[in-house]
Amino acid sequence: MSKPLVFYVEFDVKAGSVERFVEEATKVLEAMSHEDTFIDTYFHRNVNEPNKFTLYERWNEPSMDAFVKNQLEVKQYRAEYEKILPEMLASPRTFAVLEPIGEWKKGA
**How high is the pLDDT of residue 20?**
98
The DSSP annotation for 31-98 comes to HHTTSTTEEEEEEEE-SSSTTEEEEEEEES-SSHHHHIIIIITT-HHHHHHHHHHHHHEEEEEEEEEE
**How high is the pLDDT of residue 3?**
86
How do residues 41-65 score in pLDDT, each as one tens digit? Answer: 999 999 999 999 999 999 999 999 9
Mean pLDDT (whole number) for 62-83:
94
Q: Residue 100: which pLDDT band, with cuts at 50, 70 and 90?
A: confident
Mean pLDDT (whole number) for 82-94:
97
